[in-house]
Amino acid sequence: MILSPSLLSSDFGRLADELAALETAGLSWVHWDVMDGTFVPNITYGQPVIAHLRKQSRLFFDVHLMVERPERYLHEFVDAGADMLVVHAEATPHVQRALAEIRRLGVKSGVALNPHTPLSVLDYVLDDADMVLVMTVNPGFGGQSFLPASYRKISELRAMINARGLSTLIQVDGGVDPSNTAQLVQSGADVLVSGSAFFKFPPYAERLKAFEAAANSVL
């Protein structure tokens, strides 16, 4: 299990300090929720913020683009220092092209699905994705409650990936905390994104241990 804390719930006035604290606590990934105010109602940060903080962090930058027509910005986010770019299947009519371009730019590719989006949209693009992000809340704001129907979706996605002999990661984002970590891992999740359930419970090293203990209980 990889834990990727979402900076959406961190202290925006101390982002550099937050990244340093995550490294010190033993985290390896960090999740950037990039929102444009159109695809989702909220607005967060963009390429300049990521580029500035890239110089100050060795963490794996997992960048989730909640923006309309993300293909317009792929090279800018790669230049800013993203290690992985995740685009929404609902945000572009050219998902395969976007995923192929992300890989061409030299970083990992991911595709995200909103809660209502069926797995069938992945039929012809799954081979182009290094990771699939299953949204377990409706995207746009932190602190929402996990949608229980997501467990079945994650299990079905794991079966689809295994049937094709792929090594595609499954990421889960929305309402993730230690109380549902075991069931998420058991359902097939590899990467867990946690915002308020992580950052509101310092010290970070101890919170990481709580997630890891829950994950290890079913491994």
**Helices 204-216 & 178-187 angle (0-180, nearest 10):** 40
| 124: number of Cβ within 10 Å | 10
**Phi/psi of residue 89, each to 5°?**
-60, -30
Cα–Cα distance measured from residue 96 to residue 70, given in angstroms and rounded to the nearest whole number:
12
120 is in an annotated binding site: no
Cα–Cα distance measured from residue 36 to residue 147, given in angstroms and rounded to the nearest whole number:
24
31 is in an annotated binding site: yes
127 given a catalytic annotation: no
37 is in an annotated binding site: no
64 is in an annotated binding site: yes
46 is in an annotated binding site: no
6 is in an annotated binding site: yes
196 is in an annotated binding site: yes
83 given a catalytic annotation: no
Cα–Cα distance measured from residue 85 to residue 215, given in angstroms and rounded to the nearest whole number:
25
Q: What is the DSSP letter of 117?
A: -
As given in the structure block, the two tokens for residue 201 are 């419970």
User: Which residues, 6+ apart, have CB-to-CB distance to 212 below 8 Å?
Assistant: 1, 3
Cα–Cα distance measured from residue 204 to residue 11, given in angstroms and rounded to the nearest whole number:
14
The one catalytic residue among 33, 62, 128, 130: 33
13 is in an annotated binding site: no
140 is in an annotated binding site: yes
Instruction: Write out the E strands in 71-209.
Output: 84-88, 108-113, 131-135, 169-173, 191-194
Residue 9 in contact with residue 200, Cβ under 8 Å? yes
175 is in an annotated binding site: yes
The one catalytic residue among 36, 62, 173, 177: 173
88 is in an annotated binding site: no
Active site members:
33, 173
Give the residue ranges of the annotated binding site for a divalent metal cation.
Answer: 31, 33, 64, 173
Give the residue ranges of the annotated binding site for substrate.
Answer: 6, 64, 140-143, 173-175, 195-196
